[in-house]
Structure 1
Amino acid sequence: MQWSVVVLAVGICCCTVSGDEHEHHYKDNEEVVLWMNTVGPYHNRQETYTYYSLPFCKGPKQTISHYHETLGEALQGVELEFSGLEIEYKKDVPQKQYCEVELTEKVYNAFVYAVRNHYWYQMYIDDLPVWGIVGEVDAGGGKQVDYYIWTLKKLDIGYNENQIVDVNLTSDAKVKLVQGEKLSLTYQVHWKPSKVSFSRRYEKYLDPSFFQHRIHWFSIFNSFMMVIFLVGLVTMILMRTLRKDYARYNRDDDLDDMERDLGDEYGWKQVHGDVFRPVNSTILLSSLIGSGHHCLVVTFFVILFVIFGHLYTERGSILSTVIFVYAATSPVNGYFGGSLYARQGGKQWIKQTLCGALLLPSVVSGLAFTINFIAIYYHASRAIPFTSVLSILAICMFIILPMSLIGAIVGRNVAGQPDNPCRVNTVPRPIPEKKWFMEPPIIVLLGGILPFGSIFIEMYFIFTSFWAYKIYYVYGFMLLVFVILIIVTVCVTIVCTYFLLNSEDYRWQWTSFLSAGSAAFYVYLYSFYYYFFKTKMYGLFQTAFYFGYMGLFSLALGVMCGTVGYVGTSLFVRKIYSTVKID
């Protein structure tokens, strides 16, 4: 038990502190560390291996131990190892050999494979990423193919007073790979003053021409106009329709009993005795609704933290923030899931609390561990360390679960009393036959088209930033699209639910959740298109990694959208049935 608490404390500390070992201030001739991170094929960005998985050699300096990553870095496959190169602040280093590599058959084949597959590597200096290419292929216009490797790393480092503000790498000294010979690896360091301020040093890695392209602004404007149209359309159609319904339903005072019996009453009022009937699979629905509220809160706060804290400039900080916020806001899950379950008349609240608290973490962990086994088989740096697995398990068991239980207790006692505006009939009313396009499965499939259309362009930018070499930084756009998605989802789901109820089908609860959540189905379909037509990925590891994590992304999006649709529809249903006079 004590050991688990220690692991938990380490996990929390990893989530809350910065991953930087320095304070970013240097004195003249003070040591500057060059960390070697990963290497991998250019077209498979997520397929990465430790830098020294290739037979590179280290520099002579051995005085610095291995870097200790944060939890977010460990989960993202960051593997920092000291390069052994001697670099001192503002002290130039002329071209200098730091080691030799003998091209034995094994070493030669490893380098040839890396060059043939366009391997790139990543390094860090003072938290600034630096990329370089291992080598290049020269076909020479004939049948003979030669492989070359760059043996000189020329580092140009810009400084502003006592801080590093810029790093550039130039690969030079191209040497042909010849089995049996030796490679002399060298490096060179040049320091130069810069006017770039420390707060703006990361801007060179961003791509404003891509993320702030006119098509991006146009997509936001288009989605905003869709919101205005949908809100206006829903308001106009529903209010006019409901006004007619209210007028027809409330004219009973002018009719005698026979006229009332022979009247033309039909539609959503006919199911008032069944519309608030407890839904099937109450535990699952309430757990999904609780998890959806939880994901909505986490998404909103993380986006705000990234906007105001520029977390995208630090390795693993966004993922660490997600884990921390998810654990800290666990009572939200228990509160909304527990209160809904209590209003539905559920009695197994312990089972519901466990299901709600562990539903998403278990799915995420199960799929992540499956992918992790593949990563271990390929010896990839994406393999999650065992200590990180223990930290995640400790956070789930000792933070998320107890806090969800507290939230469930509060939710059951504060908001768990049934207060339906209509009495539920003892015997369920039979559902009449209706046209095929009014069946719940069709409504579910159609309900996600417009929400997906409102975020379609943003999905392209998010996919490109995650699966290609771009850094997503326009989180203001993401927040705006997030709000637009919520509004569009609510409007569309209300319309779908009204059509369902008007056909005298009272199964609105699961239908509203699934019709809103079906937007994630279209996102996942789009991920197939993106994989085959926008990337050059290949191999079992990359394919499993891509579709596995895109599945998790789509699942979380579907749970959020489904929750938004359910909550909006629930308010709408309660409103219309609380206004109508029921005999």
Structure 2
Amino acid sequence: MRLSTTLLLLPAALVSVSEAFYIPGWSIRSYKDQDPIPLYTNKLTSPTTELPFAYAEQPFVVPVTHDGPGSKFGPRNIGLNLGEVLRGDRISVSDYELVMGKDIPCAYLGDREVNRNDVQKANRMVRDGYVVEWIVDNLPGATSFVTIDKSKRYYAAGFKLGTFENDEAYINNHVTLVLRWRNMPDHPGRKLIVAFEVYPKSVSGPKGKCPDNLETAKPLELVVPQGAESLTIPYTYSVYWKEDNSIDWANRWDLYFMNDEESVSIHWLAIINSVVIAMLLTIVVAIVMLRTLSRDIQKYNSISGPSSDAEAKADLEDAEDALEETGWKLVHGDVFRAPALGGLFAPLIGSGMQLIFVTLSLLVLSAVGILNPSYRGGFISFGLFLFIFAGFFSGYYSTRVYKTFKGDNWKKNALTTGLIFPGFLFATMFLLNLFVWAQASSTAIPVTTLIALGAMWLLISLPLVFIGSYLGFQREAWEHPTRTTQIARQIPPQPWYLRLIPSILIGGIIPFAVIFIELLFVFKSLWQDKSSYYYMFGFLGLITGVLILVVMEISVVMTYFMLCYENWGWWWRSFLVGGGSAVWVFVYSAWYYFTKLQVQGWTSGLLYFAYSALACAVYGVLLGTVGWVASYAFVRRIYGAIKAD
């Protein structure tokens, strides 16, 4: 009774704990009047290129002057977690002075002399639509929008570097910063920042001071004046504090996703579409399992059972008909025969188990709120660490499959498991990083970070793979319900839809139909918005569950059809059919690139297709493992239900 009561109270306790503190931001930051507040600069991103750049390192930006231990906010560069480094964040303290509650109509930041080459670079970045990301109190500076009916306000992270009109580029060298605050409950005199808005403007003014009139000042064109060798860009800013009690501190990120509420109906349409497809496929599987397959098993067992000579003679014709109807029974001596390239198959299954663990863990962490946009880089950091430590599961399940194939060199299998798939990922990232290095993008992974990643792989993940493999090899091999014959049965000619390529495409199109509506939002968040993917996890969690169910069912159906046509080579086929939707996802990514994106430059195009292919490979291995697990359980079940000689 005590145990059951504890289990019932556990969910309530978890909810109360999650409400007691703000996990990603770790704690609420409050300020009192006249407290200095740092403004951090991060990076420049563009929807037309996949190359972000560090804002503070640009030649047209005023460099930071107060740097070092003597400054108010410490050293210039801020320490980043691994996820922030990999996603291209480069956070630095700026010279913008923000003081809680103090309005600044206009303040002069500094001038920057820009030569012709740097002017051309700034001009090009403005033309490419680069967006600036600043941070105050862990909130990105936002461009504010209002819905058509003016009933709601919503934010888009970042603000334009400049404007491009009539084939002329203008840089936004003046910003009006609006910070919204509210009083902290139960703490008189303490204030919370609930919104950070940036209103950029291009103004031309005198050196060393603010323009006389910001409203009437002419914009500053990015052109070097005739007879001069450089362009002077003056930077100024204004700060205004506004009390806003309509925004709760815990919900201050909602405004960044408010514009996505209009697409909620489409998300639910995607879920309904997925559920309908899953239900139809479930009906098909139920018919196969409960009617056709069950009838075959009962009929064959009744004929194969003990009977008199007269009964046997009378049932001879029925027995021949039953054998003809149950073609899958004819391959009982080959169905558990080890597949070709089993030394590659087992490591792939192990890597798939590793990816399944990582994916489900990330969905759970996102659902409970540990991973959300205020924990910058948290999703990548957690995913990487989970992948490293899930090497244990990879080694364990890989060796269990390997031992099922009568393999005895578990160390070789463990080494293959620990190197082949992680090595493929690491080598691909390294090669792509060479192209990013050449462009001096902030997503270029530093050498020290690459060394750290390699050390995590070889010194942590690989030993865990060996530990898991050792424990898996100590377990007994999975027992199969039928014995394997010495001579393999010849596989007869197969129908066109059961051949390799058609079966993969047909088996992949149904899982793809489950997710293709939601894919539009996923691609938009990853390649265009680049910062608003957290709101999708609620929908992705539901669709992922349906997707796994559909992959399991389609793999079982295709395996059953293969066995009915006396094709016992289902091991690889179930894996490939399960991951077949990855082919359609890659085709969809190509369609999205040519129809939705306006990516410029061959480097950005290369990065897009390379990262898309890499993601599809991970997706394919994960779902391929799901398909194989379902098919393996199905085959063991049906052959364990018959009375084979």
Tell me what 1:444 maps to.
Answer: 504
- 2:24–2:370 Cα contact (<8 Å) kept: no
- 2:24–2:372 Cα contact (<8 Å) kept: no
Query: Match for 1:68: what amino acid?
Result: G
Which among 531, 536, 541 is matched to residue 593 of structure 2?
531
Which among 27, 33, 46 is matched to residue 28 of structure 1?
33
- The reply to whether residue 165 of structure 1 matches residue 194 of structure 2 is yes
Instruction: Flag structure 1 segments of 5+ consecutive residues without an equivalent.
Output: 1-17, 140-144
- 1:96–1:186 Cα contact (<8 Å) kept: yes
* Distance in 1, Cα, partners of 2:447 & 2:27: 27
Tell me what 1:499 maps to.
Answer: 561
* Distance in 1, Cα, partners of 2:573 & 2:181: 59
Question: CA 1:257–1:405 in structure 2 vs 1: closer, same or farther (change >3 Å)?
Answer: farther
- 1:512–1:565 Cα contact (<8 Å) kept: yes
- 2:410–2:470 Cα contact (<8 Å) kept: no
SS of residue in 2 equivalent to 1:171? strand
Alignment of 1:420-439 (within 5 A): 420-439=480-499
How far did 1:558 drift?
A: 0.7
* Distance in 2, Cα, partners of 1:102 & 1:441: 61
How far did 1:129 drift?
A: 1.0
How far did 1:211 drift?
A: 7.0
* Distance in 2, Cα, partners of 1:114 & 1:511: 48
- 1:438–1:503 Cα contact (<8 Å) kept: no
Question: CA 1:465–1:378 in structure 2 vs 1: closer, same or farther (change >3 Å)?
Answer: same
Which among 192, 197, 212 is matched to residue 242 of structure 2?
192
Which among 345, 366, 385 is matched to residue 406 of structure 2?
345
SS of residue in 1 equivalent to 2:43? strand
Which among 221, 229, 238 is matched to residue 176 of structure 1?
221
Instruction: Flag structure 2 segments of 5+ consecutive residues without an equivalent.
Output: 1-22, 142-157, 184-190, 204-218
Tell me what 2:162 maps to.
Answer: 135
Query: Match for 1:259: what amino acid?
Result: L
- 1:59–1:85 Cα contact (<8 Å) kept: no
1:152-192: CA deviations, max 9, x gaps?
11101112233221100011233233423522210111112
How far did 1:456 drift?
A: 1.1
- 2:60–2:114 Cα contact (<8 Å) kept: no
- 1:219–1:457 Cα contact (<8 Å) kept: yes
How far did 1:224 drift?
A: 0.8
TM-score, normalised via structure 2 length: 0.83
RMSD of aligned alpha carbons: 2.2
Tell me what 2:372 maps to.
Answer: 312
- The reply to whether residue 574 of structure 1 matches residue 636 of structure 2 is yes
Tell me what 1:154 maps to.
Answer: 176
* Distance in 1, Cα, partners of 2:45 & 2:638: 59
Residue identity (%) = 30
SS of residue in 2 equivalent to 1:55? coil
* Distance in 2, Cα, partners of 1:558 & 1:542: 24
Tell me what 2:255 maps to.
Answer: 204
- 2:367–2:538 Cα contact (<8 Å) kept: yes
Query: Match for 1:399: what amino acid?
Result: I
SS of residue in 1 equivalent to 2:406? coil
- 1:58–1:85 Cα contact (<8 Å) kept: no
- 1:128–1:167 Cα contact (<8 Å) kept: yes
SS of residue in 2 equivalent to 1:520? helix
Question: CA 1:21–1:90 in structure 2 vs 1: closer, same or farther (change >3 Å)?
Answer: farther
Tell me what 1:11 maps to.
Answer: none
Question: CA 1:208–1:353 in structure 2 vs 1: closer, same or farther (change >3 Å)?
Answer: farther
Tell me what 1:43 maps to.
Answer: 48
Which among 439, 455, 465 is matched to residue 525 of structure 2?
465
- 2:47–2:599 Cα contact (<8 Å) kept: no
Query: Match for 1:367: what amino acid?
Result: T
1:532-582: CA deviations, max 9, x gaps?
111111212211221111112111111111111111111111111111111
Query: Match for 1:236: what amino acid?
Result: I
How far did 1:424 drift?
A: 0.6
Question: CA 1:246–1:60 in structure 2 vs 1: closer, same or farther (change >3 Å)?
Answer: closer
Tell me what 1:88 maps to.
Answer: 99
* Distance in 1, Cα, partners of 2:494 & 2:252: 63
* Distance in 1, Cα, partners of 2:94 & 2:474: 59
Question: CA 1:95–1:398 in structure 2 vs 1: closer, same or farther (change >3 Å)?
Answer: same
Alignment of 1:155-554 (within 5 A): 155-161=177-183, 162-172=191-201, 173=203, 174-179=219-224, 180=228, 181-195=231-245, 196-207=247-258, 209=260, 212-250=263-301, 251-252=303-304, 253=307, 254-256=311-313, 259=316, 263-264=320-321, 265-266=323-324, 267-309=327-369, 311-313=371-373, 314-414=375-475, 416-469=476-529, 471-472=532-533, 473-554=535-616
* Distance in 2, Cα, partners of 1:59 & 1:23: 28
Query: Match for 2:29: what amino acid?
Result: H
Deviates more, 1:305-314 or 1:72-81: 305-314
TM-score, normalised via structure 1 length: 0.91
- 1:517–1:559 Cα contact (<8 Å) kept: yes
* Distance in 2, Cα, partners of 1:178 & 1:393: 46
SS of residue in 1 equivalent to 2:98? coil
- 1:60–1:85 Cα contact (<8 Å) kept: no
Query: Match for 2:359: what amino acid?
Result: T
1:304-336: CA deviations, max 9, x gaps?
101112523221111011112222332211111
How far did 1:212 drift?
A: 4.2
Tell me what 2:115 maps to.
Answer: 104
Question: CA 1:159–1:261 in structure 2 vs 1: closer, same or farther (change >3 Å)?
Answer: closer
How far did 1:485 drift?
A: 0.7
Query: Match for 2:194: what amino acid?
Result: V
1:250-288: CA deviations, max 9, x gaps?
314332499379823230111100111111111211111
* Distance in 1, Cα, partners of 2:480 & 2:262: 48
Question: CA 1:20–1:308 in structure 2 vs 1: closer, same or farther (change >3 Å)?
Answer: closer
Deviates more, 1:48-57 or 1:381-390: 48-57
SS of residue in 2 equivalent to 1:175? coil
Question: CA 1:71–1:332 in structure 2 vs 1: closer, same or farther (change >3 Å)?
Answer: same
Question: CA 1:490–1:40 in structure 2 vs 1: closer, same or farther (change >3 Å)?
Answer: closer
Deviates more, 1:326-335 or 1:250-259: 250-259
SS of residue in 2 equivalent to 1:48? strand
SS of residue in 2 equivalent to 1:113? helix
1:336-384: CA deviations, max 9, x gaps?
1111111111122112112222333211111111111001001111101
Deviates more, 1:193-202 or 1:565-574: 193-202
SS of residue in 2 equivalent to 1:427? coil
SS of residue in 1 equivalent to 2:220? strand
